[in-house]
Amino acid sequence: MTFRANPFLEKLDRTAELTGMPAFSRRAAKDTALPFRFVPVIFLAMAVFGLVLQAWIPTAGWSMIMILWMGTFSLLLTGPMRRQPGDALDERERALIRTGHFGGLVAVAILAIGGCLAAGLSQALTLFGVAPLWLPRHPTDWLALGFFLLVVEANVAVLVASWKSPRVPMTDEG
């Protein structure tokens, strides 16, 4: 709803529109999936920050990553990979979910393999006086690492599915 008569309310309305939230709400109210082309990138950056934070403050990093996982879950529920209860997925939607999760799993595999190799190499390099990389030791470290990989998988999946979805929203008729 926009205000046209009152200049003050009109300015407030324009300011609110600048935040993007009203447009987001209008799109969310429609029965169409929302593409998220940039939000997952922010979540991924925050997840990396959360893991770095975990290395310094073992009580803070994992809780930040857990909160990010909850945020990521909302992207899965409203994004292009969402599943409507009772609605059967057609071949295009199945292909989109498959492609998205394939991208997410490839990202997790690269991180896990790269991380293991880097950790092993850094331990070996301690023989030459090089400082070792951070390794998970506390239970919260493992929780942080596990949820970090979950956040990476889901966000990369949403990102891939969003970029594979057409930019112009379709209407049912026309």
Partner 1 sequence: MARKIHNRIALFRTEAGLSRKALAEAVGVNPQTIGFLERGDYTPSLELAMNLAERFGVPIELLFSFRSFPPMADVLRQAAEQPGEAA
Site of interaction with partner 1 (CB under 8 A): 32, 87, 90-93, 166, 168, 170-174
- C-beta of 19 vs 171, nearer to partner 1: 171
- C-beta of 18 vs 173, nearer to partner 1: 173
- C-beta of 5 vs 172, nearer to partner 1: 172
Find the shortest distance in angstroms from Cβ 28 to partner 1: 16
**3-state SS, residue 112:** helix
Pairwise CA distance, residues 103 & 160, whole Å: 7
- Termini Cα distance of the chain: 25
- C-beta of 102 vs 134, nearer to partner 1: 102
Pairwise CA distance, residues 65 & 133, whole Å: 20
- C-beta of 127 vs 170, nearer to partner 1: 170
Does residue 166 contact residue 33 with C-beta atoms inside 8 Å?
no
Find the shortest distance in angstroms from Cβ 72 to partner 1: 24
Does residue 54 contact residue 46 with C-beta atoms inside 8 Å?
no
**HSE of 169, CA atoms in CB hemisphere, 13 A:** 14
Helix orientation angle between 139-164 and 39-56, rounded to the nearest 10 degrees: 170
Find the shortest distance in angstroms from Cβ 166 to partner 1: 4
Find the shortest distance in angstroms from Cβ 38 to partner 1: 21
Find the shortest distance in angstroms from Cβ 126 to partner 1: 47
